[in-house]
Amino acid sequence: MWARAVKLGLRSWVGWRRGFTSKADPQRSGRVTAEVIEHLERLALVDFGSQEAVARLEKAIAFADRLRAVDTDGVEPMESVLEDRCLYLRSDNVVEGNCAEELLQNAHRVVEEYFVAPPGMCSPKWLNRLSLSELRI
């Protein structure tokens, strides 16, 4: 079951890579297309504002690609360093909570005892609208 899941994962990852290398400029392999950038920006709410950022991404992917030099045939993949650990089971008692005031202190805006968020889906447009101070960077 693991092996199959990983194979599927690998296949889709390989397909993804193959996907954009095939759209690549034959002169420069490993280019990341604008479509992929848009998709990533939406999914991860990151801002690939500049060509420099895209270039850095391509370099990072090329760096990780070196993993393929390792022969992993017949080796079961490890998904977590915790795979041999015991999963601790907690008994069903109420021991936390009741700290609304403390938690709400972290919020930029609060209405009565609710956190306030902008309406609708989180999108890069919205993210870019916020100033750096609002993001607490």
Partner 1 sequence: MAALMLRWSCLGKRWVLACIDGGSRHGRGAAIGLTSRRKRGQSSVAQQPLIAVQKSRKGEREWAAVVGLEIHAQISSNSKLFSGSQVHFAAPPNSLVSFFDASLPGTLPVLNRRCVEAAVMTGLALNCRINKKSLFDRKHYFYADLPAGYQITQQRLPIAVNGCLAYSVSVGKKPSQVSTRTVRIKQIQLEQDSGKSLHDEPRSQTLIDLNRAGVGLLEVVLEPDMSCGEEAASAVRELQLILQALGTSQANMAEGQLRVDANISVHHPGEPLGVRTEVKNLNSARFLAKAIDFEIKRQIHELENGRKILNETRSFDDKLGCTMPMRDKEGKQDYRFMPEPNLPPLLLYDTASLPPGADPQQVINIDWIRERLPELPGKTREKLIQQYGMLPEHSFTLLNEVGLLEFFQNVIKETRAEPKKVTSWVLNIFLGFLKQQNLAVNESPVTPSALAELLNLLDRKAISSSAARQVFEELWRSKGKTPSQIVSEKKLELMQDQEALERVCHTVMEGHPQVVMDMKRGNPRAINKLIGLVRKATLSRADPTVIKEILERKLSS
Cα–Cα distance, 137 to 132 (Å, whole number) = 6
Q: Which of 17, 19, 24, 42 binds partner 1 (CB under 8 A)?
A: 42
- Smallest gap from Cβ 135 to partner 1, in A, equals 14
Cα–Cα distance, 23 to 29 (Å, whole number) = 9
Instruction: Report the Cα 13 to chain-centroid distance in Å.
Output: 14
Residues 71-130 that bind partner 1 (CB under 8 A): 79-80, 82-100, 103-104, 106, 109, 111-123
- Smallest gap from Cβ 42 to partner 1, in A, equals 7
The DSSP-derived string for 118-131 is: -SS---HHHHHHS-
Cα–Cα distance, 96 to 10 (Å, whole number) = 40
Residues 9-38 that bind partner 1 (CB under 8 A): none
Closer to partner 1 at the Cβ: 74 or 120?
Answer: 120
Q: Are 45 and 121 in contact (CB under 8 A)?
A: no
Q: Is 133 helix (H, G, I), strand (E, B) or coil?
A: coil
- Smallest gap from Cβ 3 to partner 1, in A, equals 12
Closer to partner 1 at the Cβ: 24 or 104?
Answer: 104
| Of 33, 87, 82, 80, nearest in space to 61 by CA | 33
- Smallest gap from Cβ 7 to partner 1, in A, equals 12
Residues contributing to the site for partner 1 (CB under 8 A): 1-2, 5, 39, 42-43, 45, 79-80, 82-100, 103-104, 106, 109, 111-123
